Structure 1
Amino acid sequence: MRKEVFVAEQRVPEDLEYDEFDAGALHVLAVREDGVALGTGRLLYGEAAVGRTGGDPSVGSLGRLAVRKDARGLGVGVELVRGIEAAARGLGLAAVDLHAQTSASGFYERLGYAGYGDEFHEAGIAHRAMRRSL
């Protein structure tokens, strides 16, 4: 899913898309009744998240949220975010941070995330840091 959305569609170099945090992350997957994958995302927590959350171990890092093009607008992304937030609550985290592509910041704002700091670039794409308390 990530290869389809980020590498092929958005042209993120594959060596940037997959990182050392994938193995220890909590991953979520949305699938149709027939087993076809619709979307995915991950949650970094503990030491893996500290570098992305300003050093606060009580904050998780939501990332790599990807929804297939033909599944966008169906609520899949919302369900993935809410599933990641539920997992974060289950781990005792107080908040979730993320680096939203600027073009997707409105999606996250509608889900209760607030932007902070200046816009920055990751993999050549404009991003904004955002956070939601749980």
Structure 2
Amino acid sequence: MEVKVVSTEQELKDAYKVRMDVFVVEQKVPEEIEIDEFENEAKHIVIYDEKKPVATGRIREVDGYGKLERICVLKSHRKYGLGKMIMDNLEMIGHDIGLKQFKLNAQTQAEPFYEKQGYHTVSGEFLDANIPHVTMVKK
């Protein structure tokens, strides 16, 4: 597996491809809301397996937090620890730009995964793209 910080148009397209497969096709998130106005201000990563994009995530600074977003792994690769690899790399990017606290909006089904990464829930449940979520933070 190779982790890359997105630096080319093709790598960004690869990130979008993974997101479309997971969020739009698998989870039925409307395509028109998956790509948003924050794409250009975020730093994206893509994980490749033999040059095929299989996982992605992004981070951007919001109110002094590193906000981790769009974290996803193709169904075929969910048993290899790539979620943790995404989290570690995004947090490293955040630390490199001076961020000391992180937050994310987690799908409730993924809440135990994020708890294992040191995040704790700070909100009640809410719907985002018709999927139940909670806000979680890590300092």
> What is the TM-score when the length of structure 2 is the normalising length?
0.86
The alignment's C-alpha RMSD in Å is 0.7
2:86 counterpart of 1:80: yes
Say which SS state the counterpart of residue 99 (structure 1) adopts: strand
Task: Spell out, residue by residue over 1:36-95, the C-alpha distance to the aligned partner (whole angstroms, 9 max, x if none).
Answer: 1110000011xxx2xxxxxx3x21100000100000021011000100000000010111
Supply the distance in 2 between the matched residues of 1:31 and 1:76 (Cα, whole angstroms): 10
2:112 counterpart of 1:126: no
Supply the distance in 2 between the matched residues of 1:119 and 1:6 (Cα, whole angstroms): 19
Say which SS state the counterpart of residue 128 (structure 1) adopts: strand
Unaligned runs of 5+ in 1: 50-55
Match of 1:40 in 2: 56
Which runs of structure 2 are paired with 1:13-28 in the superposition (5 Å)? 13-28=30-45
After TM superposition, give the deviation of residue 16 of structure 1 in Å: 1.1
Which runs of structure 2 are paired with 1:1-134 in the superposition (5 Å)? 1-32=18-49, 34-45=50-61, 49=62, 56=63, 58-133=64-139
The code of the aligned residue for 2:25 comes to: A
Supply the distance in 2 between the matched residues of 1:23 and 1:92 (Cα, whole angstroms): 19
Unaligned runs of 5+ in 2: 1-17
Say which SS state the counterpart of residue 87 (structure 1) adopts: helix
For this pair of structures, how many residues does the alignment match? 122
Identity %: 38
> What is the TM-score when the length of structure 1 is the normalising length?
0.89
After TM superposition, give the deviation of residue 28 of structure 1 in Å: 0.6
